[in-house]
A and B are shown apart, each in its own frame.
Chain A
Amino acid sequence: MKNKSLLAKFASAPYTVWMCIFVIVPIALVVYYAFTDADGNFTFGNMTSIVEYGSTFLISLKLALISTVICLLMAYPVAYTISKMKQRRQSTMIMLVMLPMWMNFLIRTYAWMTILEGNGLINRFVRMLGGEGFSMINTDGAVVLGMVYNFLPYMILPIYTVLTKIEKSTIEAAQDLGANRLSVFRRVLLPMSIPGIISGITMVFVPAVSTFVISKLLGGGKTFLIGDIIENFFLGNTGTVNYNVGAALSLVLMILILISMTIMNHFDKDESSGGIM
């Protein structure tokens, strides 16, 4: 018995060291940079300068929220109908949902540029029908579209997973007791699929609120999100690089996501997670 615990202690030692150096120290450095100036003196200046970026935070939150809601509304019926199919068909459909996920999201986003462009496929089609072309790319709408397109599978999969776990007899029992379709959905299906919905929401919201690629490619630099600003502070031109303010923004983003996750988990009363990750 003694030997076993010794082995176990030794086994986790490399990761403990690794985690300290490459997870804890970097986070500590982010906090340190967020509260110091370029010369290393303590300051609240970075944190207060964040107020300037308040509107960017709001736009990021707004677009990410809209995308998450659209994803949820689109995904639930799909997940539900797939969960009702025959076993064999189910796995084919789920494979079809996962296939685009396995492509790099840069490529997926890039593909939309071709379609949305001023001279792109949609506008050509509209003009062919005699209509007038309109601009779609470089708008907030295009950014939302890119987010929905990229993250929709992450909403479908966890909801599908919880729905398949609901016993048929539960629904039948509700129907036997006189519940109509709507109340079966409202009082049985929906409450039971909450864990899946929650993990779906986090899996869509977190990457959506922190993205900088989708806004760059489909927003054309007009839609500036919080991710774009952070990127600019770390990898921008020499004039704009400022690790301190960048670290402060990242810290706020991190805390923001932590808070929203805590709120989300509050809804998920039983701890069973419907997620696949």
Chain B
Amino acid sequence: MKIISKVYNFLVFGFLYAPIVVMIVYSFNSKKSRTDFGGFSFRWYAELFQDDIILRSLWLSLLVALLSAIIATVIGTAASVGIHSMKGLKRRAYLAVNNIPVVNPDIVTAISMMILFVFVITKFNGLEMGFATLLISHITFNIPYVILSVLPKLRGLNPNIYEAAQDLGCPPGKAFLKVVVPQITEGIVTGFIMAFTLSLDDFVISYFNSGSSAQTLPVTIYSMTKRPYSPKINALSTLLFLSVMILLVMVNLRKTNGNNSKKGELK
């Protein structure tokens, strides 16, 4: 029984990692072939760093991810405070609408916003799809995730502490910043990280809402897959994979060193 489960797990993990290994190996191929391995070289890495389109879209992706995560975190955290004080039907309705972009397939969220943007653009001349529409669409699908990670933290708060601060003469705004925010920081940070990674990883929504002037990295990768084979994608993927791996290992090590009680927690 033990051996069977070991073999089984080995096969499943083999399935998960085989394509990644193949990709990494072929990123060092000196030939421009998907299958013939001509010898080890850094040729594609060198070409990758000379490809302006890829580099520009990488920066754009990082910029959009950072900006949309910051804005979504601010709006989302504030909204969580508001939702926290809502009750009954109003609260349920608010949360239901908040869940729409989470539950809906990406393509539906994407085309619904695209229709809005195109609608506005045809009404007002001079506007066009680009950075602004891209950023707006990313903020829109990021906010719900911030709320979903901040709201549970607010629920665990003792409301008396906040009221005590006000009784002691602290104005509400300041009391909020000094008393409530420090207690929900963990949720805010989780929300921010989630928003950032979701934005960085998104393809479908960017694909429909970026126009041709503001292409994010996934959109550029997609257009590269339609052109003749270029091992530059492999080189790029290898670098992305390594950075994700290093990041995850670092986070994991910090977690295990920090406190063991939270091990069960994912993300």
Contacts and interface: CB of A to CB of B under 8 A. Distances in A.
Interface of A: 1, 3-16, 18-19, 21-27, 29-30, 33, 74, 77-78, 81-82, 87-88, 90-92, 94-100, 102-108, 110-115, 117, 119-121, 124, 149, 152-153, 157, 161, 164, 206-207, 209-210, 212-213, 217, 227, 230-231, 234-235, 243, 246-247, 250, 253-254, 257-258, 261, 276-277
B263 interface: yes
A5 B86 CA distance: 9
Q: Which of A27, A115, A227 has the most CB of B within 10 A?
A: A27
Contacts of B42: none
Contacts of A3: 166, 172
A79 B261 CA distance: 21
Contact of A26 (B116, B162, B217): B116
A100 B20 contact: yes
A258 B176 CA distance: 38
Contacts of A96: 13, 16
B22 A115 contact: yes
A12 B23 contact: no
B187 to A, nearest CB: 15
A25 B113 CA distance: 9
A110 B245 contact: no
Given A121-B35, A234-B111, A276-B267, A8 B85 contact: yes
B116 A14 contact: no
A103 B140 contact: no
Given A4-B172, A110-B225, A111-B23, A261 B35 contact: no
Contacts of A22: 113, 116, 136-137, 140
Interface stretch (B45-53, B62-70, B99-107): B99-107
A234 B75 contact: no
Contacts of A98: 248, 266
B8 A108 contact: no
B191 interface: no
A192 to B, nearest CB: 16
Given A3-B172, A106-B203, A121 B111 contact: no
Given A7-B172, A243-B115, 9 more contacts: A16-B79, A22-B113, A77-B5, A77-B8, A104-B201, A107-B221, A111-B20, A230-B111, A254-B108
Given A230-B111, A253-B105, A261-B103, A8 B81 contact: yes
B183 to A, nearest CB: 16
Given A119-B34, A247-B115, A12 B81 contact: yes
Contact of A23 (B13, B82, B97, B241): B97
Interface of B: 5, 8-9, 12-13, 15-20, 22-23, 26, 34-35, 75-76, 78-79, 81-86, 94, 97-98, 100-108, 111-116, 118-119, 136-137, 139-140, 143, 147-148, 162-163, 166, 172-173, 176, 197, 201, 203-204, 207-208, 217-218, 221-222, 225, 233, 237, 240-241, 244-245, 248-249, 252, 255-256, 260, 263-264, 266-267
A19 B140 CA distance: 8
A11 B82 contact: yes
Nearest to B146: A15
Contacts of A277: 102, 148
A14 B137 CA distance: 16
Contacts of A234: 111, 114, 208
B225 A106 contact: yes
30 contacts: A3-B166, A3-B172, A4-B162, A4-B166, A8-B85, A8-B86, A12-B83, A15-B75, A15-B82, A19-B143, A26-B113, A26-B116, A81-B8, A87-B263, A95-B248, A103-B244, A104-B201, A110-B23, A111-B22, A111-B237, A113-B34, A114-B23, A152-B12, A157-B266, A207-B105, A207-B106, A210-B106, A230-B107, A253-B105, A254-B105
A248 to B, nearest CB: 11
A78 B8 contact: yes
B111 A102 contact: no
Given A106-B222, A107-B237, A207-B106, A26 B115 contact: yes
Given A8-B85, A250-B111, A103 B240 contact: yes
Given A106-B203, A112-B19, A115-B22, A12 B106 contact: no
Contacts of B78: 11-12, 14-15
B22 A121 contact: yes
A6 B135 CA distance: 30
Contact of A120 (B34, B82, B197, B241): B34
Contacts of A231: 107
A104 B203 contact: yes
The list of the 10 closest CB pairs from A to B, nearest first, reads A12-B82, A210-B105, A111-B19, A15-B79, A26-B112, A8-B85, A11-B78, A11-B82, A11-B81, A107-B237
